[in-house]
Amino acid sequence: MNPPSGPLQPVRTVFLSDIHLGTRECQAERLLDFLDSVQADCIYLVGDIIDLWAFKGGFYWPPTHAAVLRAILAKARTGTRIVYVPGNHDESCRDFCSQMLAGIEVRRECVHELRDGRRLLVAHGDEFDGAVKCGRVMALLGTQLYDLFLRWGYRLNRIRRVFGLGHWSLVTWLKSRVGNVRRHVERFERAAASEAARRGLDGIVCGHIHRPAMTVYDGVLYCNDGDWVEHATTLVEDMHGELRLWMWPEPAIRSQPVVSTWRQAA
């Protein structure tokens, strides 16, 4: 599957999460380029869109972050259905669940029906943290280490850019080398899939753990749309109803059409 190039690419559904607007790590330019390139019938914002936690440590809000919100609101005005499922970093927006905000439906969770009739639970995913059972202290330590690695990764990539090198994710590299993390991730994924099964649904779409994936556990589809901090990924249902994970290239290197796709295993 080649990346959409040229004019607006029509797709049925887009799932985006973990954008973390308000943090330095947010890849807002890449996301703006994606939003400018795609015309969706429906966009699900699957949580951690604005990082309200980050504001506690100082206010960071560059024009590109405001532009992301403007682009989303403009889509809502021009006929795209937008459903916002707040996450744990924008938890206070959960107070607005079941309401309309500037043309956007706010929901605690919802069910998306694919073109072929399969039904998927759409939830941010922090509700499955308990299944990972690593305890509060470990979780806190993990979060702080993770933030530290992200910050190192950000600096490293600024240096790489000076030398004309592409983006490289320190966190992804570390995660893939830490077996323990891999086990936690699988536990999370299985918990999410079994919640969908428990409700008689065909699968789940979530975010939260910043780990793009499309896989099947005991016949239940597990999709994670990834994030716009490390991966710049989105889950897309195309006009034929096929699900794909897209990794969006940096606008500066758009001439190299490298959208990685994971296709759903048959």
- Does position 25 bind Mn ion by CB under 5 A? no
Residue pair 104/82 in contact by the 8 Å Cβ criterion: yes
Instruction: Indicate the residue among 48 and 202 with the shorter CB distance to Mn ion.
Output: 48
Instruction: Indicate the residue among 68 and 259 with the shorter CB distance to Mn ion.
Output: 68
Instruction: Indicate the residue among 48 and 105 with the shorter CB distance to Mn ion.
Output: 48
Residues 82-101 that bind Mn ion (CB under 5 A): 87-88
Question: Which of helix, strand or coil describes residue 264?
Answer: coil
Residue 96: partners with Cβ closer than 8 Å, 6 or more residues away:
86, 106
Residue pair 196/189 in contact by the 8 Å Cβ criterion: no
Q: Which residue, chain included where needed, has tokens 């409700």?
A: 199
String of contacts with Mn ion for each residue 50-89, x by CB under 5 A:
-------------------------------------xx-
Q: Which range, of 27-35, 44-52, 172-180, 244-252, touches Mn ion by CB under 5 A?
A: 44-52
Contacts 24+ apart (CB under 8 A), 183-189: 184/132, 184/134, 185/209, 185/211, 187/131, 187/132, 187/133, 188/125, 188/128, 188/129, 188/131, 188/132, 189/213, 189/215, 189/217, 189/222, 189/224
Instruction: Indicate the residue among 185 and 259 with the shorter CB distance to Mn ion.
Output: 185
- Does position 208 bind Mn ion by CB under 5 A? yes
Instruction: Indicate the residue among 38 and 45 with the shorter CB distance to Mn ion.
Output: 45
Q: Looking at 25, 33, 48, 237, which residue binds Mn ion (CB under 5 A)?
A: 48
Binding site for Mn ion (CB under 5 A): 48, 87-88, 208
